[in-house]
Amino acid sequence: MAEVVVDTPVPPRSTVGDESRDWRKALTGVGLLAPAIVIAIIFSIIPLIYLINVSLTRESTFFFNNPQYTFDNYRLIWNRYLPHVWTTIRLATLASLFCLIFGYPFAYILVRKVQYRDLVRILMTFPLFGPLYLTYGIRFVFGVNGPLAPLFDFIGVDSRTLLFAYPEQMTIFGMAVFTFPFMVMNVVAALTNVDPTLEEAARTLGSRPWQVFTRVLFPLSWPGVLAGFLICFGWNLGVFIVPMLLGNIEQQRVLSLALYQKAMSQFDYGLGSAMGVVLMLLAFTVTWLSLRFSRGALAT
Amino acid sequence: MSETTAIGGPSRFRSSGRWLTSGLQHAYIWLWMALFVLPFLTTVYRSLEDPKGGYSFEGYRFAFGSFQDALILSLQTTIVTIVLNILISIPAAYAIVRYPIPGKRTILAALNVSLYTPGAVMGLSLSLLFAYRLSSIQGSFWALVAAYVVGTFPLMLIPVIVALRDLPTVFGEAARTLGAGRWRTLLRVEIPLLGPGITAGILLTFVIVFNEFLVTLFIAGKGNQTAALTIYNILARAGFAPSTAALASIMQFTSFVVVLLFFKVFGSRYLKGTYLG
Amino acid sequence: MARVTLQDVTKRYGDTVAVDRVSAEIADGEFVTLLGPSGCGKTTTLRMIAGLVELTSGHIRFDDQLMDNVPTHKRNIGLAFQSHALFPHMSVAKNIAFGLTNRRAPRAEVQAKVEEMLDMIEMTGMGDRMPSQLSGGQQQRVALARMLATDPRVLLFDEPLSALDRNLRDTLKYSILELQRRTKKTAIYVTHDQSEAFAISDRIMVMNQGRVEQAGTQLDIYLRPETEFVANFVGDNNTLQGTVRAIEPGTDGIREVVVDCSGMTVRAIAPADLAAGDAVSVFVRPEHIEVLPDGSREGQDGVLRGKIVQLVFEGPTLRMTIDADGVPLHVSVSGTERLALLDQANASVWVELRNPSVVKNPPAV
C-alpha cells in the first residue's frame, strides 16, 4: 500500500523537474481525452448552443440571411403553452411516484427474500429496450382481446374501452413500467448497504414491522430512494412515445411531442427550440439535483 | 427444542401466517416480472396473427423482406457506434483515472451532458446543427453514427472508469518490473483485466443504439430509416400491423439474446454503477 | 547480481518529504531489510529502487550503472508485492513465463524455465491452474517463481508476507531466505515486522520519517540503539534519564560511559558523541532486568531497590511493573524463577539493570 507521506520541515528547494513532469503528464492526459472532448463539443454542446440561439429567433428565420431576434417564443410559452410544461411535470411526477411506491417494496423483497435475483434482473431488461416496443406491447396487452381481457371483464371493467377510458392512467402506467428498473436498481443498491442486523436489532428492541421501516430502513435507504426518484423523473420528463400511443390530446401536450410537432411538422423552429430549452433546463435541474444527492455514484 | 410440540397450535398458525406473507411477496415479484415480459409476449403473439385469419409467419416473412435494409442499417450503425465508443472511451477513461488533469470533474460533466439531454431536445438540436453547419453529412449514415456516439459513449466511459478505478495499479507495476513496456503492459495485462467493464459498455451501447428511434426521427434522411424508426413510422402512419409486431419482436428478441449472453459470460457485477446494474 | 548504491535519495511530494537524503550501499548478495513503521518512507525507497517512483533528487546505482533514468521494465529487477499481484487472467505457467516472453525468449527455453521454476517451488504439474484456484501460500510462491524466472539482478520485497496468516508467514520467510541464499542475489526487503526483519536479514536499516535512523546487524540494533526511536521501535525498552559523569576506557579498549541515573550508577558502551555533563537517556530492556535474590549487592552499578506494583502472568513470561523510587520499571522474566515470583505482589525486591544503552538527548527545543 502507499506510504503515508510524512511532513518534516526541509529547506525549500526548486522542484522544477517535478512540475514539468506533471505538465507533460497532464498534456498526455488531455491528448487522450481529446477525441471525447471534440465529439462532445461538436455534437452535444454546440447543438445545444444553436438550440438556444434558434429559440431566440422568430419561426425559421434563423436559417435566413438576417434572423429576427426576439423573446416572443418564450412569451408565447408563458402565455399559451404553460399547460404543456405543467402536463410534462405532472406526468413525470406521478409516474415517478408510482415507481417509488411500487418499486420500494419490490426492491426490498428482491434484496432480502429472493434467491432468483439474476432471473429478475434479466427479465427487468425488457423495459430498457425502450418505451417504443413497451408501449406498443402495452397497447396489445390492454387492447381488445388482450391477454388480460378476461381478468378485467371478471372484475367488471369493460376491457374493450379500457385503453381509451383511462388515457392519463394508462400513460402514467406506461411511463412507470419503463422507468421502474431505474428506481428498483437504485433502491436495491441502497438497501444492499443496509446491514440486515440493524433490522433485527430494531426488532429485538421492540419495534413493530412498520416502525422498523419508518425508523430504520427508510432513513438509511433515503439517498438511494431520492436518486432513483430523480433519475426516473429525468427520464419521464423526456417522454414522447408513451402519451402518443396511450394518451389522448391532453397527455400529448408533453414538451417532447409538442416541440416535435412545432419544429418538424409546422417548421416553427423558434418555438420548438424554445420548448426544447425549457425541457433541457428542467432535465438539467433534475440531473444536477440527483448528482448532488447521490454524490459519487457516477462522478468522482 | 420441541417448541412446536409444546405450543403446537399457535406456532403452526404463526408459521402459516409467515408462509402467506412470503407467498405474497414472491407473488408480487412475479406479478412485476409478468408485467415486464407480457408486452413482449403479446407482441410476439400478435405478430403471428395472419390478417386473413389464423396464424402464420407471414409477418416475419414480410419483415425480413421489406424491412431488411432497415434491420441491416440498425446493425451497421450499432456496430460502428460500438467500435467508435471503444476507441474514444478507453483513452478517455485512462486520462480521467490515471492522469493529473485540471478541472476533471467539469470535463466529465461536460462529456455526460448528452446523457442527460432528453432525446427530443438532442434530436432537434442535432437537426439544427446538421441543417445549419454540417449539411454535407445531413441525413447520412455518419450523421446517425455521430448522434449515437455522442449520446452513448458516456455509457461506455462510465463502466470503463469504474473498472479502471477498481483495477489495482499493482498489476501494471508487476508487469513493468517483469520487463513489459508501456504498450505490452496495456495490451497483455490491463485491457484484458478491464475486459468485463468494456463489455458492459458494449452491452449498454448495443441495447440503446439498436433500439433508438427518437433522435433518429429528427435527423434520419429518407433512405436511412433504422428498424426502430421504421416501426415508429408505420405506427404513426398506419397503426398496428402484424409485420411491425414481427419487426418489434425481432428487435426485442435480438436485444434479449445479447443481454442473456452477457449475463451468461460475465454475470451482473460489472453493470454496477451503470444504467442496467 | 549487483551492488546497489543509494546516494542522497530524496522523494518529495509537494511540501512533504517522504524520503529524506537516504544513502546506503548494499553489497552484492547481501540481504538488507528496511524496517520501520508505516509512513516512514521504506516502501517509497523500495519503489524508487524499482523505478516505480521517480526520485526528486539523489542517485541510485546498480554496480556502477546510474539507474535514475532507466525505466522499470529495463532495470531487470524482481519485485514481490504485498498482494501477490499474480495476473488473474493468466494461468500459473503464463504468469511465470510473462517476464521471459517480455524478453522474447525462445518458446522451448521459456517452457523449460517454467518447469524448472515449478519444480523449485514444489508445484510441479500445476502450471495450468489459475491463480484463483491456489491457496494463499501457493500464490505467493508462484509470485516468487515469477520474479526469479527472469534471473533479475536485484530482488525487492515489499512486505510480501503481511497479507498472510501467521503460520504461512513463518514458513515462507524461510523459503525466501533460502531462495536468496541459493541464488546469491542482492535482496532488499521492506517490512514493519521486526521479528521478520531479525529472522532473515544480513543487515537492517531502521527508517523513521523518511530517514535512516540506524543501519547495522540485528545485535547492533538490539543492544546498541543509536537513537531514541530505534530503542523504542525495536522491542520494548525502559527509558531512564541521567547525566554523564565520565567517559572511561573500559576493558578491551571499548570506551565506557558512566551515567548517574535515578540514584544509582550505570555503565554502558559509550557512543562517540558524548562528553561529561551531557543529559542522556538510558535504555534497558525488560528482559534484561534481573530480579536479585537479596539485597547483598545494593549500591553496586545498576542495582536498584523497588516494589512490585503489578504482576501479569502470561504463561511463558511474567511481566512486572516495579516502582523504583517513583521510577516505574517494566520487567519481563522468562526463566523458571518467574514461578517463585508469582505471589510476590507488593513485595520489596532488588533488581539489576543489564546491557543498558545510552543515547544523548537532543537539545531541548
- Do A8 and C57 count as a contact with CB atoms less than 8 A apart? no
**Is there a contact between C73 and B177 if contact means CB atoms under 8 Å apart?**
yes
**Which of residues 60 through 99 in chain C touch A, CB cutoff 8 A?**
82
Provide the whole-model pTM.
Answer: 0.77
pLDDT of residue A197: 85
pLDDT at B9: 46
Minimum distance, in Å, between the CA of residue A8 and any CA atom of chain B: 25
Q: Mind telling me how many Å the CA of A91 is from chain C's nearest CA? A: 49
For position A152, what pLDDT does the model report?
80
Cβ atoms within 10 Å, residue C339: 11
pLDDT class of B276 with cuts at 50, 70, 90: very low
- For A169, residues 6+ apart whose C-beta sits below 8 A from its C-beta are none
What letter does residue A296 receive in the DSSP assignment?
T
Q: What is the mean pLDDT of residues A227-239?
A: 89
Q: Which of B62, B48, B74, B29 is nearest to A140 (CA)?
A: B48
A touches which chains (3+ CB pairs under 8 A)? B, C
pLDDT in tens, A28-70: 888 999 999 999 999 999 999 999 998 998 877 777 777 788 8
Cα C108 from chain centroid (whole Å):
41
Q: Touching B: which chains, 3+ CB pairs < 8 A?
A: A, C
Give chain C as a 3 state SS string: CCCEEEEEEEEEECCEEEEEEEEEEECCCCEEEEECCCCCCHHHHHHHHHCCCCCCEEEEEECCEECCCCCHHHCCEEEECCCCCCCCCCCHHHHHHHHHHHCCCCHHHHHHHHHHHHHHCCCCCCCCCCHHHCCHHHHHHHHHHHHHHCCCCEEEEECCCCCCCHHHHHHHHHHHHHHHHHHCCEEEEEECCHHHHHHHCCEEEEEECCEEEEEECHHHHHHCCCCHHHHHHCCCCEEEEEEEEEEEECHHHCEEEEEEECCEEEEEECCCCCCCCCEEEEEECHHHEEEECCHHHCCCCCEEEEEEEEEEECCCCEEEEEEECCEEEEEEECCCHHHHHCCCCCCEEEEEECCCEEEECCCCC
User: Which domains does chain C possess?
Assistant: 4-228 (3.40.50.300), 236-293+302-360 (2.40.50.100)
Q: What span, in angstroms and rounded, lies between the C-alpha atoms of C41 and C58?
A: 15
At residue A295, the pLDDT reads 54
Q: Does A127 touch chain B (CB under 8 A)?
A: yes
3-class DSSP assignment, residue B49: strand
Q: Give the model's confidence band at A220: pLDDT under 50 very low, under 70 low, under 90 confident, else very high.
A: confident
- Domain map (residue ranges) of chain B: 3-47, 68-271
User: Hey, is the C-beta of A32 within 8 angstroms of any chain B C-beta?
Assistant: yes
Q: Which alpha helices (H) appear in chain B, and where do they start and end? A: 3-6, 8-47, 58-66, 68-98, 104-116, 119-132, 141-166, 170-177, 182-184, 191-210, 214-219, 227-238, 242-266
Chain B: give the shortest CA distance to residue A44, in Å.
6
Residues of C contacting chain B (CB within 8 angstroms):
50-52, 71-79, 81, 83, 85, 87-89, 98-99, 102-103, 146-147, 150, 156
Whole-angstrom distance, CA of residue C354 vs CA of residue A45 = 79
Could you read off the pLDDT of C197-233 as tens digits, one per residue? Answer: 999 999 999 999 999 999 999 999 999 999 999 999 9
The strand pair at C16-26 and C4-13 is best described as antiparallel
pLDDT in tens, B42-63: 999 888 887 777 788 888 888 7
pLDDT, one tens digit per residue, over B121-130 is 999 999 999 9
* CA-closest candidate to residue B40, choices B209, B211, B176: B211
Residues of chain C found within 8 Å of residue A17, distances taken between Cβ atoms: 56
- What's the number of CA atoms in the CB half-sphere (13 Å) around residue C324? 27
A265 has pLDDT over 80:
yes
Least confident range from B68-82, B143-157, B204-218, B260-274: namely: B260-274
Check if the beta carbon of residue C204 is closer than 8 Å to that of residue C32: yes
User: Within an 8 Å CB–CB cutoff, is residue C330 touching chain A?
Assistant: no
| B194 vs B156: CA distance, rounded Å | 12
CA distance C24 to C4: 8
- The pLDDT tens digits of the residues spanning A169-219 come to 999 999 999 999 989 988 888 888 888 888 888 888 878 888 888 888 888
Structural domains of chain A in order of their starting residue, each with its CATH number: 82-293 (1.10.3720.10)
Q: What is the crossing angle of helices B119-132 and A269-293, to 10°?
A: 130
- Return the pLDDT at B183: 87
Phi-psi region of C329 (alpha: psi -120 to 50; beta: other; left: phi over 0): beta
In C, residues 147-176, which contact A (CB 8 Å cutoff)?
A: none
Statement: residue B187 has pLDDT above 50: yes
Instruction: State the pLDDT confidence band at B15, using cuts at 50, 70 and 90.
Output: low
Q: Is A37 touching B (CB cutoff 8 A)?
A: yes
Between CA C324 and CA C117 the distance in angstroms is 59
Q: Which pLDDT value is given to residue B5? A: 41
pLDDT for the residue numbered A86: 95
Out of A2, A8, A13, the one facing C209 most closely (by C-beta) is A8
Report residue B42 as a C-alpha cell.
Answer: 403479446
Contact predicate B92/B111, CB 8 Å: yes
Q: What is the pLDDT of residue A118?
A: 82
User: How close B52 comes to chain C (CA, Å)?
Assistant: 57
Residues from chain A contacting residue C42 (CB–CB below 8 Å): 3
Optimal mutation site among B24, B48, B125, interface A, most CBs of chain A within 10 A: B125
pLDDT bracket for residue B13 (50, 70, 90): low
Distance CA C296, CA C347 (A): 17
CB burial of A210-235 (b: ≥16 within 10 Å; e: otherwise) equals eebbeebbeebbebbbbbbbbbbbbb
CA distance C198 to A261: 82
Q: Point out which residues pair with C318 in neighbouring strands.
A: C313, C333
The secondary structure of B86-141, three-state, reads HHHHHHHHHHHHHCCCCCHHHHHHHHHHHHHCCHHHHHHHHHHHHHHCCCCCCCCH
3-state class of B245 per DSSP? helix
Is residue A295 classed as helix, strand or coil in its secondary structure? coil
Q: Judge: C87–B170 Cβ closer than 8 Å, yes or no.
A: no
| 3-state secondary structure at position A147 | coil
pLDDT, averaged across chain B: 84
Q: Would an 8 Å CB–CB cutoff place B98 in contact with chain C? A: no
**Is the ipTM above a cut-off of 0.85?**
no
Contact C89 B193 (CB under 8 A): yes
What integer pLDDT is reported at residue A198 of this predicted model? 86
d(CA A72, CA A56): 8
Spell out which residues of chain B touch residue A147, defining contact as CB-CB under 8 Å.
38, 41-42, 45
Planar angle of CA C329, C332, C338, nearest 5 degrees: 120
Element (H, E) at A32: helix A16-40
Q: Nearest chain B Cα to C82, which residue? A: B170
pLDDT tens across the length of chain C (365 residues): 689 999 999 999 888 899 999 999 999 999 999 999 998 999 999 999 999 998 999 999 999 899 988 888 888 999 998 888 899 888 999 999 998 988 888 999 999 999 999 998 889 889 999 998 998 889 999 999 999 998 899 999 999 888 888 888 888 888 889 888 888 999 999 999 998 999 999 999 999 999 999 999 999 999 999 999 999 998 889 998 888 988 888 777 778 888 888 778 888 888 877 888 888 999 999 999 988 878 788 878 888 888 999 999 988 899 999 998 888 899 999 888 888 888 888 888 899 988 889 888 887 66
Q: CA-CA-CA-CA torsion for B9, B11, B16, B19, nearest 10 degrees?
A: -170
Given pLDDT bands bounded at 50, 70 and 90, which one contains residue A16? very low
pLDDT one-digit tens code per residue, A123-165: 888 998 989 999 989 988 888 777 887 888 788 777 777 778 8
Q: Please give the C-alpha separations between residue A175 and each of A94, A241, B61, B85, in angstroms, as whole numbers.
A: 9, 9, 32, 29
Contact at CB, A10 and C20, closer than 8 angstroms: yes
Report the pLDDT value the prediction gives residue B234, as an integer from 0 to 100: 86
Per-residue pLDDT tens digits for A76-103 = 999 999 999 999 999 999 999 999 999 9
- Determine the residue among B20, B21, B33, B36 to mutate to test chain A binding: the one whose Cβ has the most chain A Cβ atoms within 10 Å: B36
The CATH homologous superfamily to which domain B68-271 belongs is MetI-like (1.10.3720.10)
pLDDT at A19: 63
